[in-house]
Structure 1
Amino acid sequence: MKYDDEEKLILDALEKDGIQLSDPSKDEVKAVKAAAKRTFKKNQRVTIRLYDHDFAGIQKKALEMGIPYQTLISGIIHRYVEGDIKIKPA
């Protein structure tokens, strides 16, 4: 795995006991939990029509991944919106 300069410094310090890790405060835990809750809250329902073979393919991929097909579709859309998936021009 490649590390950038900052990551190398942190890893080096951690390995040389130059960093003391501590438990997060109750306020930090509360803030992280609140952020996670907001992140995973799905509040919009969408209906789409798919070709039979596309739907079967999505179901097959989801089954291979061990997740519901709705989660796979939602994940693909999210990754596209965030820019992690690019569509090649025709």
Structure 2
Amino acid sequence: MTNIPSIGKFYDAEEQALVAAIEADDYLVGKSGLTNELMSELKDAAKNTIVDERKKITIRVPQTDLARLKAKAMREGIPYQTAINALIHKYASS
């Protein structure tokens, strides 16, 4: 016999109602509002946002600038190459 507490006592009223509904025999998964037409539109939008080709470049930057950029990217939780890419994109787009 184990002393594992019942998780039910940690649920609020809404969560308890949801658990009861899911565990009921007559529970049906809700119908998705995603129609074929909407799915097609979303797929087209996704295709239009994908960049097909990337070009590799080489640049020379001061070591201190690169170190600062890497530190800033690390604080933001992104790779420094992604940060450089974002800076180039922002500059080119404006």
TM-score, structure 1 normalization: 0.59
For residue 37 of structure 1, the aligned residue among 50, 71, 84 is: 50
Identity score, percent: 32
Gaps of 5+ in 2: 1-32
State the Cα deviation string for residues 66-90 of structure 1 (Å, max 9, x = none): 000001011011101111xxxxxxx
Query: What amino acid maps onto 1:50 in structure 2?
Result: V
TM-score, structure 2 normalization: 0.56
Gaps of 5+ in 1: 1-21, 84-90
RMSD value over aligned CA atoms? 1.7
- Superposition misfits of 4+ residues, deviation over 6 angstroms: none
Whose radius of gyration is greater, 1 or 2? 2
Query: What amino acid maps onto 1:56 in structure 2?
Result: A
